Amino acid sequence: MPTYRIYYAEREVGDKRTGDAMSALPLSGAYRPGDYVSETEWEEEVDAPNTDGALDSFFKEHVRDNSGLRWVDDNGESRAVEGVTYDADKTYIWVEHGKLMEYQGLDEATPGMVSCPLCEGAGEVTTELADEYLGEHGEEIVEEDQEEERPTWG
């Protein structure tokens, strides 16, 4: 079964002047690039037979149900997700633990490979090569279990 690497970002919306986060996020109007006080990019690996299955599995882990999931149109407006199929090319947003989350895309992962830390995830390298690079910069990949989430490199 193929493995897919799903990219997403966690954004904390708030006042950029003070760094104060907003406690309540109105999801329909929360997608405003530049209003974020912090942003963290993540990636997660999911085993699934196809991209739709990968997204279904991913969203089941991150969103209680599709009523909390929205997609963003070309004008930056969020729209309700209808049905149970997903378009891998759309931008999806949701709120998780009080933070705005944004799905950014997916790639089919090559077994035994990780996102390249040097090119900020634009390619894949072996775990050993990534560890060597990160070791020189005071970081190291910890491989405890293949099914655990991996840190993002970019």
Contact 150, 116 (CB under 8 A): no
Q: What is the mean pLDDT of residues 70-92?
A: 91
Q: Which pLDDT score, from 0 to 100, does residue 142 have? A: 42
Residues 57/14, Cβ–Cβ less than 8 Å: no
Provide the pLDDT for residue 33: 53
- Which residues lie closer than 8 Å to 154 by C-beta, 6 or more apart? 41, 115, 117, 119, 120, 121, 122
Query: Which residue would you say has higher pLDDT here, 62 or 82?
Result: 62
Give 29-52 pLDDT, tens digit per residue.
544 555 667 788 898 989 999 999
Of 138, 146, 152, 109, residue with least CA distance to 9:
152
Looking up tokens 């989350």 gives 101
- pLDDT at residue 38, rounded to an integer: 79
Residue 81, classed as helix, strand or coil, is coil
Q: pTM to 2 decimals?
A: 0.66
CA distance 12 to 120: 21
Residues 55 and 61: their CA atoms lie apart, in Å, by: 10
